[in-house]
A and B are shown apart, each in its own frame.
Chain A
Amino acid sequence: MNATWTNLLPLGIVLSSLLPGLLIFTLREEQTRLRVALNLTGVLLKLGLVGLMLWGVARGLEFRFSIPFLPGGELVLQGDALSLQFVSLSTVLWLATTIYAIGYLEDAPLRSRFFGYFSLCVSATVGLALAGNLVTFLLFYELLTLATFPLVVHRGTPQALQAGRVYLTYTLGGGALLLMGVALLHSLTGSPQFSAGGYLLPLLETRTPSLILAFALLVGGLGVKAALLPLHGWLPQAMVAPAPVSALLHAVAVVKAGAFGIVRVVYDVYGVEPVQALGLHLPLLALAAATIIYGSLKALQQRELKKLLAYSTVSQVSYITLGVALMGPIAAVGALAHLVHQGLMKVTLFYCAGNFAETLGVHRIREMDGIGQRMPLTMTAFTLAALGMIGVPPTAGFISKWYLGLGALETGQSGILLVLVLSGLLNAAYFLPLIYRGWFATPKAPWPAAATARAGRPGWRETHWMLLAPTLFTAALALLAGILAGTGFSPLGWSQLIINREFDL
């Protein structure tokens, strides 16, 4: 393999967070400046590299790095349009969350370990996004599980440990299923590169049972991370993790890894035709629809803000699966756009929840009464993101739901429209009261003067700037993604590009 820059760029993108992460492990606790410097260098470098790759992919360059690994399955990292969608999202949100986390964890213990594993997680996510075949995908998928675990149990309390055990039980079980599925497909054809339209068509006739079982195993394994219905139990529990972890990992990296995997399996491994021929999309569709409704219903019953957001994630991530399972190009555009939109909105919501908790000690929904007067900026961001989640135009959430609805009509699954409408109503039912409470209810007690060192005062300095800035940044991005949806470089535009390539339109 020639070591040209196009070959090395995917590796560079992975290493740009991996190496700083490994270095951070070796730092002593009090080397704060060096740690921050390493973190930021990694983030900015990665941002630059991703930008370079975006530019290249838009111009039709190919980025591919490979080393020999298993017989018939190399380790391949490649940058295509789909992977870049996820990579860009992760990188931008990593930037925001790193700043957020530095502020959030100021003076907390074990920061070297935290940031070390945090960088590893991002590396695994990016690697998973760039994975060029199933074996590579599997590898990063498992690494993501391992790197996330220490963050879930970071606080080291019995409660955190319990959540960690649950998390591991689910994800390792899922990992084992995925391993079996990948190995099964590998035994049939090896692990060729992901390609639009899949590579299993020739086996459709002869290996039907194997293909069906493999699909079930793969979706079962990926469904754990994507929090599909019977496999979602870990996500609400994992909310004991510190807020930046919940924000980046459980709203974006981990759950999206599952959803992204489903996209890859359906489009680039099986291909649309075989999936339809085997009738595999229907159970997936039913599962996704059920999860959407179930998650919303559960969210309605929650009293803690983070738990509510967690169930909302369960519901919202399944939109992506739903869009994929509809098997039409328009729905697919909606699904891929939602991958980004949901990420931006949900991360904002988690930042806000973290701000409330850190500044004023607010964890429960009841305690949010009148919080908008004390923290207007955060509450504004929260409102924007929540409206997006409900799907109010012109927010990003509206755009993706619109496309999903159109897609459902296009493929004749009009029942799905009903699901979308119902879920929108449910979303409104659990988000609107929050917005109402925040802005219009009167606080039960006066806000504490300054609960912690980083608590600010009302106005522009309502909380630590490192907590506030990322919140506003992502909220703005979520808004812009909706308003500028028509332009070529919006998430929607990019999704269109991907789908044109996938469906060969």
Chain B
Amino acid sequence: MTLALASLLLPLGTALLMLLLRLRSGIWVIAASLGSLLCAGLALHEVIEQGVQTLAIGGWRTPLGIRFELSSLTAVLLVFTAMTHLLVAIYAQHSRHSHARNTDYWPLSGLLHASLAALWLSRDLFNWYVTLELLGLVAVAMIILSGPRAHAPALRYLLLSLAASLCYLLGVALLYGRYGVLDLDLLAQASEADHSTRMALLLMTVGLMLKAALWPLHLWLPAAHSSAPTAVSALLSALVVKGPLFILWLLWSRVAPVDMTESAGLLFALAGIVALLAGGWAALRTPLLKTLVAYSTVAQLGYALLALGLLLRWQQSELSVALWLFVLAHGLAKVSMFLAAGEMQATLGSKRVASLKGATQTMPVAMFAFAVAGGSLIGLPPSGGFVAKWVLLQPLLLEPIHWPWALGVLLGTLASAAYVFRVVALSFDRADATPPDYDPDPFAQWLALLPAIAVWGLALFSQPLILWLSEASG
């Protein structure tokens, strides 16, 4: 547990020190992320060796105090967060287009890292409210780094995020009023299917879905994520929307009474399928590159929602493995995609998808990164996205009665293939290539490729990963 705390504290302390001493170099954040990654990795090792660990903060046991829990899933998420931050930080330190110079990008990214770590570790409903607010504020603060043009989407995001928090908080208040405790496990033991509990869960679900941009509450996401600076878009899509999802998953799989989960599961799963198709369609239609990538986030979250829904409907906890594999694979792929897209957009001087004509020649590595990451989103083997889809498909295909759901997954796959290859095919257009405004920066392109390779590497690592994730969900 100490290691997990260290993984939280390192970026937090670094951020505060950078603010206090006005340090401007990204080296500090890179070092802190590296240290945090190391600690998280060791924490994971510790969990695997010794099992789930809990910490009563301040020595006060629940229900009085706040409890941290380090399960193998939490540890994996800590590793994932630190790794993503490390990759993005290296990119931001290097790239010319990162808006990291002369802004508070570095401390903000450290705070983002710490907020996420706090969220993964906490198991207290109210504490989650505070971490959610932290996430929302830090996300908005980072979006507006890209200048006044981002103000409008940022404001919209902030207002919706605040409203969502208050929905969530009202739900927390109801649960506290009903059961008198805030700890997840205590609630799980006490919860009953009465009217107050239903309403509380409904309120919290609406708030969390809004924050996680789950269909149909996703409308704020494309503008917000696409108007942020490139490095920030990557962090937002890869990490920030996953925080509320984590809480949603815990709430429904632990606290919600069984007879509620079945009907809610159906709704979640249907929303997931619609998200896959609607998000894919929007990504296929949009003329702007980063908006395309942002819509793809909406679509990909559909897989997570589908997994969540079916897991609730059938009470099959092994589907949580699929859920979290989707989250990990999507996160890495999205980092790569946003970095590649941002780098190409800045170098080629246009936000439009059409400007990528001939990009395989002018910026081969970035385009390759985009394609490779896209391959994981589609679910081509042997990528992380493939493994996730595979795990999701297994129970769907086993019984003929569940085959319609598999059809949904198939359609989602085709939709994602369509929008990824819309871009890829265009980039081979040599007849009418867009000349770059600057010399393309090979190192930044390679950095964009790194997470894409990592997500394909995830597949080779899938067996232990599946094991850890299923231990956490059992």
CB neighbours of B393 from chain A (8 A): 180, 183-184, 187
Looking at the complex, which of A158-166, A194-202, A465-473 is the stretch in contact with chain B? A158-166
- Indicate with 1 or 0, residue by residue over A160-190, a CB within 8 angstroms of chain B CB atoms: 1100110010001101110110011011100
Q: B421 and A186: CB pair below 8 A?
A: no
How far is A179 from B462 in the complex, measured between Cα atoms in Å?
A: 18
Q: B397 and A172: CB pair below 8 A?
A: no
The minimal Cβ–Cβ distance linking B288 to chain A, given in whole angstroms, is: 21
Q: A168 and B421: CB pair below 8 A?
A: yes
How far is A67 from B461 in the complex, measured between Cα atoms in Å?
A: 11
Beta-carbon nearest neighbor of A180 in chain B: B410
Q: A172 and B462: CB pair below 8 A?
A: no
How far is A177 from B394 in the complex, measured between Cα atoms in Å?
A: 15
**Contacts A183-B394, A183-B397 given: A110-B414 contact, CB under 8 Å?**
no
Beta-carbon nearest neighbor of B428 in chain A: A153
Q: B460 and A139: CB pair below 8 A?
A: no
Within 8 A of B (CB), among A198-227: 209-210, 213
Looking at the complex, which of A44-52, A68-76, A241-249, A434-442 is the stretch in contact with chain B? A68-76
Q: B397 and A165: CB pair below 8 A?
A: no
Q: B428 and A164: CB pair below 8 A?
A: yes
Max chain A Cβ within 10 angstroms of own Cβ: one of B360, B379, B382, B393: B382
Q: A146 and B397: CB pair below 8 A?
A: no
Interchain CB contact (< 8 A) of A161 among B361, B364, B380, B429:
B429
How far is A143 from B383 in the complex, measured between Cα atoms in Å?
A: 11
**Contacts A180-B410, A183-B390 given: A172-B466 contact, CB under 8 Å?**
no
The minimal Cβ–Cβ distance linking B326 to chain A, given in whole angstroms, is: 15
Beta-carbon nearest neighbor of A155 in chain B: B430
Is A80 an interface residue when CB atoms closer than 8 A count as contact? no
How far is A168 from B426 in the complex, measured between Cα atoms in Å?
A: 13
Is B173 an interface residue when CB atoms closer than 8 A count as contact? no
Q: A142 and B380: CB pair below 8 A?
A: yes
Q: A187 and B413: CB pair below 8 A?
A: no
Is B463 an interface residue when CB atoms closer than 8 A count as contact? yes
Is A156 an interface residue when CB atoms closer than 8 A count as contact? yes
Is A475 an interface residue when CB atoms closer than 8 A count as contact? no
Is B400 an interface residue when CB atoms closer than 8 A count as contact? yes
CB neighbours of B460 from chain A (8 A): 67, 69
CB neighbours of A156 from chain B (8 A): 358, 428-431
The minimal Cβ–Cβ distance linking A149 to chain B, given in whole angstroms, is: 8
Is B435 an interface residue when CB atoms closer than 8 A count as contact? no
**Contacts A69-B462, A69-B463, A153-B425 given: A110-B361 contact, CB under 8 Å?**
yes
- Indicate with 1 or 0, residue by residue over B368-408, a CB within 8 angstroms of chain A CB atoms: 00000001001111100001011001111110100100100
Q: B398 and A146: CB pair below 8 A?
A: no
How far is A180 from B414 in the complex, measured between Cα atoms in Å?
A: 12
CB neighbours of B390 from chain A (8 A): 70, 183, 186
- Indicate with 1 or 0, residue by residue over A21-49, a CB within 8 angstroms of chain B CB atoms: 00000000000000000000000000000
Beta-carbon nearest neighbor of A165 in chain B: B425
**Contacts A155-B430, A176-B410 given: A188-B463 contact, CB under 8 Å?**
no
Q: A172 and B414: CB pair below 8 A?
A: yes
Is B417 an interface residue when CB atoms closer than 8 A count as contact? yes
Interchain CB contact (< 8 A) of A175 among B380, B426, B431, B459:
B380
**Contacts A70-B390, A176-B417 given: A184-B425 contact, CB under 8 Å?**
no
**Contacts A71-B466, A175-B380 given: A168-B425 contact, CB under 8 Å?**
yes
The minimal Cβ–Cβ distance linking A177 to chain B, given in whole angstroms, is: 8
Is A138 an interface residue when CB atoms closer than 8 A count as contact? yes
The minimal Cβ–Cβ distance linking B82 to chain A, given in whole angstroms, is: 26
Q: B397 and A187: CB pair below 8 A?
A: yes
How far is A180 from B413 in the complex, measured between Cα atoms in Å?
A: 11
Within 8 A of B (CB), among A48-96: 67-71, 75
How far is A164 from B382 in the complex, measured between Cα atoms in Å?
A: 23
How far is A170 from B421 in the complex, measured between Cα atoms in Å?
A: 13
How far is A149 from B380 in the complex, measured between Cα atoms in Å?
A: 14
Beta-carbon nearest neighbor of B392 in chain A: A183
The interface on chain B, measured as residues whose beta carbon lies within 8 A of the other chain's beta carbons, has a size of: 39
How far is A313 from B381 in the complex, measured between Cα atoms in Å?
A: 28
The minimal Cβ–Cβ distance linking A306 to chain B, given in whole angstroms, is: 20
Q: B429 and A187: CB pair below 8 A?
A: no
Interchain CB contact (< 8 A) of A172 among B417, B429, B430:
B417
Is A150 an interface residue when CB atoms closer than 8 A count as contact? yes
**Contacts A70-B390, A164-B425, A180-B397 given: A157-B413 contact, CB under 8 Å?**
no
CB neighbours of A186 from chain B (8 A): 390, 394
CB neighbours of B459 from chain A (8 A): 69
The minimal Cβ–Cβ distance linking A492 to chain B, given in whole angstroms, is: 35
CB neighbours of B379 from chain A (8 A): 179
The minimal Cβ–Cβ distance linking B129 to chain A, given in whole angstroms, is: 37
Interchain CB contact (< 8 A) of B400 among A70, A155, A209:
A209
- Indicate with 1 or 0, residue by residue over B411-429, a CB within 8 angstroms of chain A CB atoms: 0011001000100111011
The minimal Cβ–Cβ distance linking B265 to chain A, given in whole angstroms, is: 20
- Indicate with 1 or 0, residue by residue over B109-147, a CB within 8 angstroms of chain A CB atoms: 000000000000000000000000000000000000000
Q: A210 and B428: CB pair below 8 A?
A: no
Q: A187 and B462: CB pair below 8 A?
A: no
Q: A139 and B400: CB pair below 8 A?
A: no
CB neighbours of A183 from chain B (8 A): 390, 393-394, 397
**Contacts A67-B460, A142-B380 given: A158-B431 contact, CB under 8 Å?**
yes
CB neighbours of B410 from chain A (8 A): 176-177, 180
CB neighbours of A177 from chain B (8 A): 410
- Indicate with 1 or 0, residue by residue over A112-155, a CB within 8 angstroms of chain B CB atoms: 01000000000000000000000100110011001001100101
Beta-carbon nearest neighbor of B394 in chain A: A187
- Indicate with 1 or 0, residue by residue over B449-474, a CB within 8 angstroms of chain A CB atoms: 00000000001101100100000000
Q: B381 and A139: CB pair below 8 A?
A: yes
CB neighbours of B394 from chain A (8 A): 183, 186-187
Interchain CB contact (< 8 A) of B463 among A68, A139, A168, A180:
A68
Q: A173 and B414: CB pair below 8 A?
A: yes
Beta-carbon nearest neighbor of B375 in chain A: A146
How far is A158 from B431 in the complex, measured between Cα atoms in Å?
A: 7
How far is A160 from B379 in the complex, measured between Cα atoms in Å?
A: 26
**Contacts A69-B382, A69-B459, A173-B414 given: A188-B429 contact, CB under 8 Å?**
no
Q: B382 and A139: CB pair below 8 A?
A: yes
CB neighbours of A180 from chain B (8 A): 393, 397, 406, 410
The minimal Cβ–Cβ distance linking A144 to chain B, given in whole angstroms, is: 11
Interchain CB contact (< 8 A) of B395 among A113, A161, A187:
A187
How far is A425 from B379 in the complex, measured between Cα atoms in Å?
A: 45
Beta-carbon nearest neighbor of A185 in chain B: B397
How far is A67 from B431 in the complex, measured between Cα atoms in Å?
A: 43
The minimal Cβ–Cβ distance linking A110 to chain B, given in whole angstroms, is: 7
**Contacts A172-B414, A172-B421, A180-B410 given: A150-B380 contact, CB under 8 Å?**
no
CB neighbours of A210 from chain B (8 A): 397, 400
The minimal Cβ–Cβ distance linking A437 to chain B, given in whole angstroms, is: 34
Beta-carbon nearest neighbor of A177 in chain B: B410
Q: A187 and B398: CB pair below 8 A?
A: yes
The minimal Cβ–Cβ distance linking B386 to chain A, given in whole angstroms, is: 8
Beta-carbon nearest neighbor of B393 in chain A: A183
How far is A75 from B417 in the complex, measured between Cα atoms in Å?
A: 24
How far is A179 from B460 in the complex, measured between Cα atoms in Å?
A: 18
Beta-carbon nearest neighbor of B395 in chain A: A187
Contacts A/B (CB < 8 Å), 23 sampled: A69-B382, A69-B463, A110-B361, A139-B382, A153-B425, A153-B428, A155-B430, A156-B428, A156-B430, A156-B431, A157-B430, A164-B428, A165-B425, A168-B421, A172-B421, A175-B380, A176-B413, A183-B393, A183-B394, A183-B397, A186-B394, A187-B395, A210-B397
In order of increasing CB-CB distance, the 4 nearest A-B pairs are: A156-B430, A139-B381, A153-B428, A184-B397
Q: A180-B393, A183-B394, A213-B403 provided; 8 other pairs, C-beta below 8 A?
A: A67-B460, A139-B381, A143-B381, A168-B417, A172-B414, A179-B413, A183-B390, A186-B394
Interface of B with A (CB < 8 Å)?
Answer: 358, 360-361, 364, 375, 378-382, 387, 389-390, 393-398, 400, 403, 406, 410, 413-414, 417, 421, 424-426, 428-431, 459-460, 462-463, 466
